Every structure is written in C-alpha cells, then in structure tokens.
Amino acid sequence: MEIKDLLINLHNEVDAFCLKERHLEMIREAFPGIRIVAVSSREDFLARLPDAEWVITWIFKSDWYRMAPGLKAVFTPAAGHDWAHPDPTGRVRNFYGRFHGRIMRESLLAMILFFNRRLGRMLENRPNKIWDRHDYDGAVSLFSQHVLIVGYGSVGRQMAEILRGFGATVTGVKRDIRGFEHDPFAARVVTFDSLPEELPLADHVVLVLPGEADTEGIFTASHFAMMKKGSHFYNLGRGNCYREEDLVNALRNGPLAGAGLDVFATEPLPSSSQLWELSNVIITPHASAIGREYLDLYFRDWIEDVRGMP
C-alpha cells in the first residue's frame, strides 16, 4: 500500500500514550518521502481532517467521517471502539491496536504473583520489623494452579502464553470456540455457558471482556458464588461486566481471597467505593497496558500492517 500523507493526533494526558520523535523516525524510515502532519489539539486535527486520507488518532467520532470525503483509513492504538468509532457507512476502513496483551499480561502476572507469594503480608510486616517465615507457609506456585480466562481473544491468549510458561493450566472462555480445538496455550477453550462447571475448578479467574451492551452485568452474583473457596478474581477488560456490590460481597464473605482490579464501572474509582477499604484488593488506575514501550509496539505493528495492505 502506498501511503503519501498521514495526519496524526496522538496527544494524551498519559505521556506513554503521546507521539515521540522516535515514532516519527520509524514511520519515515519505513516510508521514505511520506508527508506527516502531527498535531496536538482536537481543533487542529478537525481543521485538517477535510483534506486527510490516512489518520492515526486516539479519538474519532462517528459524525467526523462526513467531514473527510477523501478519508481512506482511521488507525488507532486503542484496542476497543470506545474512543475511535467505526465508520457507520463502512466507507472508511478502521484498524485497532492488537499489541496490548504483551504489556497487560505482565500486569496480570504481577497481580497473581503478589497474591501467590504473599507479598501483601511482607509489606505489612516491614514497618514493624517483623521477621516471620511462617507467613509464607501458604505461598503457592502457578505450576500447580488453574487459571480461567473469560474473554479469550487476542489479549487473553497472550496472557495464556505467559501463564503456560509458568506451568499453569489455562482454560479459555469464548463466544465462538470454532478453530480453538487445539489451542497452543489453553488446555481447553469453552463457551460462557460452561462457567458453572469451570468456576469451581479455577484458582484465578480473569475477565478480559469488552465494554459492550451484551457484556453488561454478564458476570453475576451467582458466578461469584460458584468460585472456588480461596480463589482470586481479576478484571483487566472493562468495568461494566459485573456489579461492584456483588464483588465486594464475595470478597468480604467468601469465597474470594482477593481481587486485582484495573478497570471499573465508574472511572476514576469514586472515593466512596467500598473497594478502597478492602485490604485484599489491588487497585490500579486503568493502567494495565501503560508502559514505555506502548507506542513502540503499536508502530511496529502499524508499519507491518500498512506494508501488507492491498
């Protein structure tokens, strides 16, 4: 695919999500002679949009397509459609990032190891200078555990890859399991209606679901009640998939021993949330994919994708 002109607006309050000179150099090296216009404000972006053919952006609203009659493609590093909406007419091609799992899987692994290796207890003991090796009697290794990943897409499979490297048994949950009969990372892949059989077996249950209408409240109080006593719950997808009060109840009254949460129904998480009060909960501010390499990974994929486009 020949690409001559590119409009980029990747300004963000998170520095790791902002365009850097090294990213521009990556593009120029891959496509010599390309004309790049990089802007840092929505106003400037919209002013240049009527003449744009290719854009890379965080935000693209549905009604903006009418402003760009010559637009051919909208690219975004984001994995979901939350900010860069697809063209409702289908005229413009939309491309979303697919690299996030390489960072997010390390965030998940950190949470799991925090609980497995009882690092919370270590943090509690240190201020009081307590040397208690008995605290670690309950430590457990991933190679003896079962991880259930609900939302076994690109991110979920990359998580499964690293967990399998630690020896964990992984089960994936997907809407459509065709083609996953012999997945290289999961021992098996099942549909959502198999959760009643799978949840009692899992030591760690991971949600990596999109924030769509059909995932609203999909994980219910009954699902929490089915989980193994002493198991852990993680959400690195979207915060609409369960009710916070159901999770809090499972953490306070069982069966859950802890939770690692990166996303929430309301963000930032309100100070009134009961989750802040629970010592067995890890809270990160929708940051599981944030890292220095974020846009480096994205632009490597983007260059490969553009080169392969017809």
- Give whole-number Cα distances, 14 to 17, 137, 256, in Å: 5, 40, 33
Question: How many other C-beta atoms are found inside a 10 Å radius of the C-beta of residue 33?
Answer: 6
**Rounded distance, CA 236 to CA 103, Å?**
11
Q: In this structure, what DSSP letter does residue 229 have?
A: T
CB-based contacts of 205: which residues, under 8 Å, 6+ apart? 147, 148, 150, 199, 227, 231, 232, 233, 234
Q: Where are the alpha helices (DSSP H) in the chain?
A: 21-30, 42-48, 101-116, 119-125, 154-165, 195-198, 221-226, 244-253, 294-308
In residues, how long is the chain? 310
| Cβ-based neighbours of 247, under 8 Å, separated by 6 or more | 224, 233, 256, 259, 275
Residues labelled as active-site residues: 238, 267, 286
Q: Are 122 and 135 in contact (CB under 8 A)?
A: yes
Q: Where are the beta strands (DSSP E) in the chain?
A: 5-9, 35-38, 54-57, 73-76, 93-96, 146-150, 169-173, 188-190, 204-207, 231-235, 256-261, 281-283
What is the Cα–Cα distance from 18 to 281, expressed in whole angstroms? Answer: 30
